[in-house]
Amino acid sequence: MFLHTGGVAHGDMNLWYSFGNLDRPGDVSAASSFLVPMLEAYNMGQQLTFYFDTSASDLNYSSGFSSTASFPIFRASEANLLIAEAYAREGNLGSALTYLNNAIQYNDNMYSDSVAAYAPADPAVSTQSAMLQTIFNEEYMSLFPEIEAFTFLRRVDYDIKYTTNGTTVQLTPTTGKEFPQRLLYPSTEVEANPNTPPQTVSDLFKATSVNSAPALNNP
């Protein structure tokens, strides 16, 4: 956890606050966010208001993204969800459920929400594929606003979907038909380092060798 007790610009300050309020105001918006309605569907209202403003169209720079707000690097929810996923892939749904519910309880305590634990007979956790989907969804919500979310999404091939009011909502690209799979080398690196690998814009959508294994997100 990065602590920002001073709130000094370009020093001891939350980087999201610095970027969104001082350095590049207006560049980041929560409008049309996939996460906002997902948090609402999962009854995670306190987490929603912690990170987003009252209109849910921008980040909350007086709470979760204030100048002195600490920045999470690795949380207990992520650790529990990784263990839950490992058990689910083995077919041990009982142990997977225990760690999934541990993560939910952690998030409830952290944000003062009251999301109920899953019961073994719940259709969302009663089969291996359903359990994995529920774990993926929970991890997607738990990882915000960490950069680790990008690594996680590539690992599970962006397989995030949930059902609300009888309708399945799936994560889709905002632009085009492909999700980004890597970050391109910046021009400063290309100009300064003659050993920079050649790249084109299309490389942005080529999965790395780690994330291109067949059926990586399947048990």
Residue 25 has pLDDT above 50, yes or no: yes
Whether 144 and 93 map to the same domain: the answer is yes
Residue 219 has pLDDT above 60, yes or no: no
- CA 213, 215, 217, 219 torsion-angle sign: negative
Whether 67 and 83 map to the same domain: the answer is no
Whether 158 and 86 map to the same domain: the answer is yes
The percent helix, strand, coil of the chain (3-state, each to 5) is 40, 5, 55
Query: 164 lies in which domain range?
Result: 76-170
pLDDT at position 215: 46
Say how many C-beta atoms besides its own lie within 10 A of residue 75's C-beta: 18
Average pLDDT over residues 149-153: 94
The kind and range of the H/E element at 101 are helix 93-111
Average pLDDT over residues 105-110: 94
Tell me whether residue 117 is in a domain: yes
Q: What is the CATH number of the domain that holds 133?
A: 1.20.120
Tell me whether residue 9 is in a domain: yes
Task: Find the range with the poorest average confidence among 4-18, 79-93, 122-136, 196-210.
Answer: 4-18
Whether 18 and 51 map to the same domain: the answer is yes
Tell me whether residue 140 is in a domain: yes
Residue 7 has pLDDT above 90, yes or no: no
pTM assigned to the model:
0.89
Cα 45 to chain center, whole Å? 17
Average pLDDT over residues 183-210: 93
Residue 8 has pLDDT above 90, yes or no: no
94 contacts 167 by C-beta, under 8 angstroms: no
Out of 71, 92, 111, pick the residue that ends a domain: 71
Tally of domains within the chain: 2
Instruction: Tell me the average pLDDT of the chain.
Output: 91
185 contacts 194 by C-beta, under 8 angstroms: no
- The β-bridge relationship of strands 167-170 and 161-164 is antiparallel
DSSP E strand stretches across the chain? 161-164, 167-170
Out of 15, 36, 71, pick the residue that ends a domain: 71
Residue 214 has pLDDT above 60, yes or no: no
b/e string for 154-165 if b means 16 or more Cβ within 10 A?
A: bbbbbbbebeee
Average pLDDT over residues 87-106: 97
Give the burial class of 122: count Cβ atoms within 10 A of its Cβ; 0-12 exposed, 13-18 middle, 19 or more buried: middle
Of residues 99 and 215, more confidence is placed in 99
Tell me whether residue 217 is in a domain: no
Tell me whether residue 102 is in a domain: yes
Residues 57-69: tens digit of each pLDDT: 889 999 999 999 9
pLDDT at position 218: 56
Whether 64 and 15 map to the same domain: the answer is yes
Tokens of 24: 């590049």
DSSP code of residue 35: H
Whether 32 and 104 map to the same domain: the answer is no
Tell me whether residue 82 is in a domain: yes
Say how many C-beta atoms besides its own lie within 10 A of residue 137's C-beta: 19
pLDDT at position 1: 63
Tell me whether residue 158 is in a domain: yes
Whether 64 and 32 map to the same domain: the answer is yes
Whether 48 and 99 map to the same domain: the answer is no
DSSP code of residue 161: E
Tell me whether residue 176 is in a domain: no
Instruction: Find all residues with CB under 8 Å of 105, minimum gap 6, and list them.
Output: 117
Whether 42 and 66 map to the same domain: the answer is yes
pLDDT at position 217: 54
Whether 40 and 89 map to the same domain: the answer is no
Out of 71, 94, 119, pick the residue that ends a domain: 71
The kind and range of the H/E element at 51 are helix 45-51
The C-alpha atoms of residue 78 and residue 206 are separated, in whole angstroms, by 26
Whether 102 and 161 map to the same domain: the answer is yes
Query: Would you call 2 helix, strand, or coil by DSSP?
Result: strand
DSSP code of residue 167: E
For residue 167, list its beta bridge partners: 164
Whether 58 and 94 map to the same domain: the answer is no
Residue 213 has pLDDT above 70, yes or no: no
